[in-house]
Amino acid sequence: MERGKRMSGAFVAMTLALLPFVAGCSCDCDDPVVVDSTPPNPPDGVFSVTRDGGVEIYWIPGWEGDLAGYRIYRARPNDTEFTLIGTTDADDVCPIGIPLNPYSSEDFQCYEDFSLAIVNGDTWYYAVTSVDQNGNESDYAYEVEDTPRPEGYDLVLVERSEGPNGSGFNFENETVQAWDALDTDIYFEFGSDGVFYIVAGTGVSIQDWGVIDLLSVDWAPSSGWAASGRAEVTVGHSYVIRIRTGQVNHYAAVEIRDLTPGAGSRSITVDWAYQTDDDNQQLFLARTGGDSQ
C-alpha cells in the first residue's frame, strides 16, 4: 500500500512536469511581447469655420479599429510649436451644425474653441492628430489658419427716403445710422427705377455673390466689384463688401434674409460679418491645405 502511494505521487509529479511541454510553452519562454508602435493615420478633411470670438474645427474621423480619439492644437503665427488645447473621443458626436460641408454631415467630428485667448482680429493656426489606444499619435493632419471676427443677425435697415437715419450701417462700430453719414458703409434705398438696392458708401465697394448663404462666403474676392457702387436686393443672396480706409482694406459680407416692400414700411433684414484684421479677406469657412509634420 505504501508503495502504491509512492508510485502514484511520482506519476503525478512527472505528469505535472511534462504539462508545459505538452501545451507548447514553458516557464522560461523567451517569445517577445509584441507592442503596437505604429501611429494611426491623421484625420482627413480638416477645416475651420470662422466665428465671432471663436473658431470651429471639423474633420472626418479615422477608420482604424484601435482609434481612441483626437488631439486639437493651436498656435499663433509667430509660435515655434503648437499647444494642445483639447481632446475628443473617437466616438464623440459633433454637437454643432456643419455649414457647407463637402461630405456627409454624419462623417464629421468637431471641436469648438471659444476660449478667453481668442480675440476678434487675431489669427490662429490649428492642427488635429489621431491617437490610438496604445497612445500612438499621428502627424498633424492639417494646419488651418483662422481669424475670428464679429458678426450679427437680424439687422433691420429701413429704406433711405422713409427713414434716412436708420437706413445706413457701419460695420466697425456695429451701428445703424444715417445713410449720408461720412462713415456709413452701406445703406438701403428704393431706386428711381423701381428697384431696391444696397448702396456702397464713400470708399466702399460691393458685389452680389448670388444665391449662397452667408456661411458659404469664405473668402472675399479681389476683383469683380460693381461699377455702379450698388447691388440689387434679392432675398437669399449674399453680398461681399470692401471698405477702404487710407491704404487699408476691411472686408464684410451680408445676407438678405427678408424684404418688406410695401410703401411706408420698406425695410430689409440682414445677417452680417466683418473682418477687423487689416487686409484680411477671410470671412467664414477656412480650408487651407498642406500636410504638416
pLDDT tens across 121-132, in order?
Answer: 999 999 999 999
Give the pLDDT band of residue 150 (cuts 50, 70, 90): very high
151-209: per-residue pLDDT in tens? Answer: 999 999 999 999 999 999 999 999 999 999 999 999 999 999 999 999 999 999 999 98
102 CA to centre of own chain: 13
Task: Report the candidate in 229, 198, 278, 217 with the shortest Cα–Cα distance to residue 50.
Answer: 217
- pLDDT higher than threshold 50 for residue 289: no
Q: 57-94 pLDDT, tens per residue?
A: 988 888 888 999 999 999 999 998 999 999 999 988 78
Q: Which phi-psi region, left, alpha or beta, contains residue 13 (left: φ > 0; alpha: ψ -120 to 50)?
A: alpha
Class of domain 44-148: mainly beta
Q: Is 227 left (phi over 0), alpha (psi -120 to 50) or beta?
A: alpha
What pLDDT, on the 0 to 100 scale, is given for residue 47? 86
Angle at the Cα of 214 from the Cα atoms of 242 and 212, rounded to 5 degrees: 100
State the pTM of this model.
Answer: 0.74
Q: Indicate the domain borders of the chain.
A: 44-148, 151-274
Checking if the pLDDT of 291 tops 90, the result is no
The span from the CA of 225 to the CA of 205, in Å, is 6
Residue in 259, 193, 201 with CA at minimum distance from that of residue 230: 201
Q: Which residues pair with 231 in a beta bridge?
A: 198
Count other C-beta atoms under 10 Å from residue 106's C-beta: 9
CA atoms within 13 A on the CB side of 151: 22
Q: DSSP assignment of the chain, as one string?
A: -HHHHHHHHHHHHHHHHHHHHHHT--TT--PPPP---PPPPPPEEEEEEEETTEEEEEEE----TTEEEEEEEEE-TT-SS-EEEEEEETTPPP-S--TT-SS-GGG-EEEEE--TT--TT--EEEEEEEEETT--BPPB---EEE----EEEEEEEE-TTT-GGGSEEETTTTEEE-TT-TT--EEEEE-TTS-EEEEE-TTEEEEEEEE--GGG--B--SS---TTSEEE--TTEEEEEEEEETTEEEEEEEEEEEEE-STTS-EEEEEEEE--STT--B-SEE-----B-
Mean pLDDT of the chain: 83
What's the mean pLDDT in 97-118? 72
Return d(Cα 242, Cα 252) in angstroms, integer.
Answer: 6
Region 20-27 average pLDDT: 49
